[in-house]
Amino acid sequence: MSQQPDDGHKPFGGFESAPEQPDRADGPQSEAPKPPREVRRASVVQTVIAVILVFFGVFYLTQTDNLTSELMRAMESVDAKMVADISIAQLASVVRTAAVVLLIIGLGHGAAAHGLRSRKTWARPVGFVFSGLLVALTVLSMFSGAMSYPVLLMGLLAVWAIVLTSRPAVKTYLSHN
């Protein structure tokens, strides 16, 4: 017996035509409202922060040896006495620790962005925590004298993410599951 319908046989296992399929717009998926502008903006800001931090974290991990030797040379040129007690291994561990911190904070921002897009209630607290950590690191770098434009930019992006995530529209949107 052939699997191909011929003129006398009905296709699709005896049906005259394919069974009616309801449109996806009529299903339960259509009840989810479009996210407010603040949610979309907060998600984009969180994603941008995540991409930048993860990129630099991976870069620092892969280039630890080069960065350590360049950092040691720069510190020796400034003050040779300062680096007399510091070994390359100690400096490398500092670079690796900084890279891991960047990765953790970047992944936290990525999780917050995903939660915002997926309408998860945990997205706000996660976004607040990791944005707050980034702001705290920015403030610490200000007081330690290690401030740079990229650090300031990341801190300002984190503040912007906090402001966007704390808006009432975001809270309302995420609380209606």
- Read off the pTM: 0.75
8 Å CB contact between 141 and 89: no
From first to last of its 177 residues, what are the pLDDT tens digits of the chain? 555 555 566 555 655 655 555 555 555 555 666 888 999 999 999 999 999 999 999 999 999 999 999 988 888 888 778 777 888 889 899 999 999 999 999 999 999 999 999 999 999 999 999 999 999 999 999 998 888 899 999 999 999 999 999 999 999 988 875
Q: What is the CA radius of gyration of the chain?
A: 26
Residue 96 to residue 65: CA distance in whole angstroms:
10
